[in-house]
Amino acid sequence: MPEVRASGGARIRYDDVGQGEPALLLIPGWCTRRDLFQPLLSLCSARRRVLRVDLRGHGDSEQGPGDFHGGDILEDLLAVVEASGAGQVVPVALSHAGFWALELRRELGAERVPRLVLLDWLVTEAPPTFLSTLHGLVSANWRRAREDLFREWTTGVEREDLRRFIIDEMGGFPEEMWARAGREIAAAYGREGSPLRALTGLSPATPTLHLYARPDTHDYLEAQVAFSARHTWFHVMRLPAVSHFPILEVPALIAAVLESFVTGRHTPVRTGPDLDPGVSLPT
């Protein structure tokens, strides 16, 4: 398994499979492991090179001495890209890993990061209830805050494997990691305002695709469609999935849309009277 030595001597481990650029860089979110991307890795690597990393302190990657923050993970990701020798990468970021995708684009520039893919992220401004939950993760009531998240993520989810992933696998991470996640995600929203606003600050504009399933409210989709009307480089697709982790539910669809988007053949279409406008599918 490839690895890089990061700051503090921590080993950051990743997979490097397939051929063809730009390579996809699969970035998990806080309190998840790179294994979550296994269905997508198998499908996407048949067509192009895929890098799949475990975050510092997650999965097979070491934490190193003491605490760490989001900036350390960014440095780790930059080290993985450089060690891989990839000329171009398209970050495929799960949830709040999108903040690192933004930073990779800022650090490496439009030539090396020509596109961005965001998976099931809260791209609008964080509502007060969500910020309150993030702050709760850094408090003595962290378990209650985490349970609130798990309750929201499992509502309407009937597949037992999905429920086990959320409750058992994510729940297996210790208090310190959940506190770190709450601290860093809240700080990122405070710094950026909202992901959509942060995206408008990239120059030149970077083609960006958001694939998501939740929240499934019309208002959330409508806000993104309105944004895409003003910023034609932004594309959104609401996926036919019920959980916060659609890569475990519809990986084949996501892989097809990803390939189409990365190759520049991704065109917004209306696919039928039962679907919302703004949905994008591969041509």
Domains identified in the chain and CATH numbers: 3-125+193-282 (3.40.50.1820)
| 196 backbone dihedrals φ, ψ, rounded to 5° | -60, -40
| 238 backbone dihedrals φ, ψ, rounded to 5° | -85, 125
114-130: per-residue pLDDT in tens?
999 999 999 999 999 99
Rg from Cα positions in the chain: 18
Query: What are the residues whose beta carbons fall under 8 Å from the beta carbon of 262, sequence distance 6 or more?
Result: 22, 24, 48, 90, 115
Residues annotated catalytic, as ranges: 244
Please state, rounded to an integer, the average pLDDT across all residues of the chain.
93
Structure tokens at 239: 């996926």
Per-residue pLDDT of the chain (283 residues; tens, 9 = 90+): 899 998 888 999 999 999 999 999 999 999 999 999 999 999 999 999 999 999 999 999 999 988 999 999 999 999 999 999 999 999 999 999 999 999 999 999 999 999 999 999 999 999 999 999 999 999 999 999 999 999 999 999 999 999 999 999 999 999 999 999 999 999 999 999 999 999 999 999 999 999 999 999 999 999 999 999 999 999 999 999 999 999 999 999 999 999 999 998 755 433 323 344 344 433 3
Strand order in the sheet with 50-53: 3-5, 11-17, 50-53, 23-27, 89-94, 116-119, 208-212, 234-238
**Could you tell me if 244 and 130 are in contact, meaning their C-beta atoms sit under 8 angstroms apart?**
no
260-279: per-residue pLDDT in tens?
999 987 554 333 233 443 44
213-239: per-residue pLDDT in tens?
999 999 999 999 999 999 999 999 999
| 55 backbone dihedrals φ, ψ, rounded to 5° | -65, 155
The secondary structure element, H or E, covering residue 226 is helix 218-230
Half-sphere exposure of 190 (CA within 13 A, CB side): 10
Q: Is the pTM of this model over 0.85?
A: yes
How far apart are the C-alpha atoms of 175 and 265, rounded to whole Å?
A: 44
Structure tokens at 56: 């510092």
How far apart are the C-alpha atoms of 45 and 47, rounded to whole Å?
A: 5
